[in-house]
Chains A and B, each alone.
Chain A
Amino acid sequence: MASILLKLKAKVERPLDAYVISPDVFAGKSLEEIKNLEMWQGNKKVKLGELFDVSGEVGQKADDVSITMEGDLSKARRIGKQMMSGKIFVDGNAGLYVGDGMKGGEIHVKGNADSWLGFEMKGGMIEVEGDARDFVGAGYRGSKNGMSGGTITIKGRAGSEVGCFMKDGIIRVNGDIGLHTGIHMQGGTILVFGDADGRMGSQMTGGKVIVAGKVPDILPSFLIDDVKPNVKVGADKIAGPFYSFTGDMMEGGNGKVFVAVQKNEHLKKKEAYIL
């Protein structure tokens, strides 16, 4: 795989719309052409070469392109927008909208990612070593079309409203998670190994939210239906036992929230309502 290195020359102060940084755009271009790609910074157009030192070689096809980015990119947005194949490595932090509408390929972020990571993603894989903020895999403002395929893995913690309007695919969070995990969710799976801030699955109509850590409570519009020894996520089985809830009843929903029994003794009283 041909690898190309984009090294940030100086700290980026103003927001940079970096949607051109994608294997599909780079494929088949010379280094010179890549340096001349235009993007918006604030209200001005800049050339990629003005901000980055560009070196390495470029593959002819997108699936043969691997892009590595060095420097603090927390002001760079939309890295890997709509990408179909190939790989992107971000060596530090990444900004908003990483993998916006991504359809295939891989994105690895070594630091933290800002909000809207993988929003409206349709396929492919995103991995973040650090934390991610709010609206991971969500539908964008007003849209009912959240993430519909692919996987997102966050090794740190994630913020609120993760998986908002999500339809399919898997989001896996190793650390803790904020409020309203899986709000408006319609399908797919969110798996959290840490603790949740609560209100999981508010207004969900389908899909699964699994919390292996502690939760403060379950929304009153969820009904307990069972205690399950384990839960299936794709081919894996996550060992339980888990309380299983169905909701959100306010929406006539058929979503599932699973919460680890061991970490949540305060939910034991709900067992009395299992039919």
Chain B
Amino acid sequence: MELLIKNGVVYDPKNGIDGEVMDVAIRDKKVVDRVDESKAYVIDASNKLIMPGGVDLHSHIAGPKCNIGRMLRPEDHYKDVEPRTQVKRSGVGYSVPSSFTIGYRYAILGYTTVFEPANPPLKMLHCHHEFRDIPILDKGCFVMFGNNWFVMEYLRDNKLDECAAYVAWTLDATKGYAIKIVDPGCVEAWKWGDVEFLDILWGRPEEIDEPVPRFGVTSREIVRGLCKVNKLLNLPHPIHVHANGLGTPGNYQTTIDTMDCVKDLAEEDRPAIHMTHVQFNGYAGSDWITIRSGAHEIMKYVNANKHVTIDLGQVIFTDTTTMTGDGPFEYKLHLLTKNKWTNADVESEEGAGLVPIHYKKSNFVHATMWTIGLELALLAKDPWRIFMTTDHPNGGPFTHYPRAITWLMSKEARKRTLDKISKRARSRSDLDNMDREYSFYEIAIATRAANARILGLKDKGHLGVGADADVAIYDINPREVDQSRDYKKVRKALSKAAFTIKEGEIVVKDGDIVKSIEGRTYWVKPNLPSDLMNAITSDLTKKFRDYYTVEMENFKIHDRFVTRSTPMPTYYG
């Protein structure tokens, strides 16, 4: 099929296109130079905003955590019900929607690629099963390695090559995309009930040099080790790190220490570490009374150091579900909020926890969190190294992205919310003095182009010839609208795409799904020298026999379970 999108106002930062009126031609799922207008399906996009399909690099959309969230929160289902249509399945859920509904709602926002950021190796099969039920979106999943027995033991014994071989084998066996590190070492300690060890960290969040009990390896060594492994395997995405001390006042220093600990490993112009949902790791002060923003300190470091990228984890004032591989944090949150809580322990790999939360404007801590996310974004000098996320659903459901985007684009929108939040939070924040407003061009970077680049997806996040034909068309003229004053218009337009095109097919029209198609699953296939693989085979066999509840052969996920399996080969060394 050929498609011609005519006269739209195009933002394509990767190709330097900043709001030019032009056509986009599509043939066979790709953007092409031109098509024959008389044969193509023509969309008149005059006075409309055109961007590449949205790319989200961190959103909890699949895997056991999401399912536990669904089980834990029936009250999340019945307040948000979507009936079936001719093309859509029915679904429920506001902060943890049904799998199908996740696909539809992202597509309606103009997003076409979303990565699930945290599954333990053993649970990857579950993740792929859910991926099969998330339509339209291209997907991939990061695999957690930061509290893994193999990894910690190899790193303790200085066996870097073996560690790399293990990570490569696991990514291949589980069809994962990148190395995720969650609260390195601490989740393992938590699983053993090492309250004393955790007390040290919770009391002094700047500590990343405390050896993990029983493993004798520190958080710093885990992060550095996996960063080296990442480089050895030439993975497309850098290590994706949820730092220690999340949700603890004073943790901004831990975040800086963690970023800094891999500085010497960075190659020129290639980010070596991605710090995720930094808002949750950006608190100064020493307790919940003295908490204040650590955004200035963090952004001073990020702006000066090119080896780092970050995403926001912006808070939205709403009812949502927190879910993370950081089991000990969720326990703390449960004690703090007295809300219901689930904890999970994944044998020798990782853990997880969930607690519902309602972010309130009047709550000093919640309001402070809200200001930190926005401060991070507004202080960023290089929009290519900062990505807009809410860490869905931790900061708020992804369906609120248009709201978060207009806070970045409009001082007036921020002021309206500032007028309603806790006065103490407002007076301690710098947000009132920040005049910066993101342009449409910068938004296109922070929600698409930069995300695709850091994920190593060369055909995503842009509209140049050869790009995947994923396009979002919004019913607003960016050259005419006063984005600051009429931010509500912008928000409305971004909430329901006029068209979303996925691989050349129109999937959304006038803000509703008109076609549902299957998306790809990206995963990396590292190629290892055979002697290296042989070196760990006996280790693997022994550990599986000694510690796992599954056979090693059953642990591997067959390609047939992977929807539109799209392996990306990488090479060792």
Contact = CB atoms under 8 A, between A and B. Distances in A.
A143 B94 CA distance: 14
B288 interface: no
Contacts of A144: 339
A142 B76 CA distance: 8
Contacts of B76: 142
A205 to B, nearest CB: 9
Which of A139, A140, A141, A142 has its CB near the most chain B CB atoms (within 10 A)?
Answer: A142
Interface of A: 139-144
> Could you tell me the dominant secondary structure of chain A's interface residues?
loop
14 contacts: A139-B75, A140-B74, A140-B75, A140-B78, A141-B74, A141-B75, A141-B78, A142-B72, A142-B73, A142-B74, A142-B75, A142-B76, A143-B75, A144-B339
B498 to A, nearest CB: 29
A207 to B, nearest CB: 16
6 A-B pairs with least C-beta separation: A142-B75, A142-B74, A143-B75, A141-B74, A142-B73, A140-B75
Chain B, interface SS category: helix
Interface in B68-82: 72-76, 78
Interface residues of B, number: 7
Contacts of B72: 142
Contacts, number: 14
B475 to A, nearest CB: 30
Contacts of B339: 144
Given A141-B74, A142-B72, 5 more contacts: A139-B75, A140-B74, A140-B75, A142-B74, A144-B339
A143 B72 CA distance: 10
Nearest to A251: B338
Contacts of B74: 140-142
Interface in B102-121: none
Contacts of B73: 142
A108 B76 CA distance: 31
A3 B262 CA distance: 76
A139 B72 CA distance: 15
Contacts of A139: 75
A139 B75 CA distance: 9
B211 to A, nearest CB: 36
A143 B78 CA distance: 11
A128 to B, nearest CB: 24
Nearest to A140: B75
Contacts of A142: 72-76
A135 to B, nearest CB: 14
Contacts of B75: 139-143
Interface string B10-23: 00000000000000
Contacts of A143: 75
B388 to A, nearest CB: 30
Interface in B39-81: 72-76, 78
A122 B46 CA distance: 49
B121 to A, nearest CB: 31
B77 to A, nearest CB: 8
Nearest to A141: B74
A140 B75 CA distance: 7
Contacts of B78: 140-141
Contacts of A140: 74-75, 78
Nearest to A205: B338
A141 B74 CA distance: 6
Nearest to B76: A142
A264 to B, nearest CB: 32
A169 to B, nearest CB: 20
A143 B339 CA distance: 10
Nearest to A120: B75
A127 to B, nearest CB: 27
Nearest to A143: B75
A4 to B, nearest CB: 29
A141 B339 CA distance: 15
B341 to A, nearest CB: 13
A252 to B, nearest CB: 9
A143 B74 CA distance: 8
A140 B76 CA distance: 11
Nearest to B73: A142
B516 to A, nearest CB: 22
A142 B75 CA distance: 5
Contacts of A141: 74-75, 78
A142 B73 CA distance: 6
A24 B73 CA distance: 30
B335 to A, nearest CB: 12
B357 to A, nearest CB: 12
A99 B73 CA distance: 23
Residue in B72, B74, B75, B339 whose Cβ sees the most chain A Cβ within 10 Å: B75
Nearest to A139: B75
Nearest to B78: A140
A147 to B, nearest CB: 15
B204 to A, nearest CB: 29
A106 to B, nearest CB: 26
A255 to B, nearest CB: 15
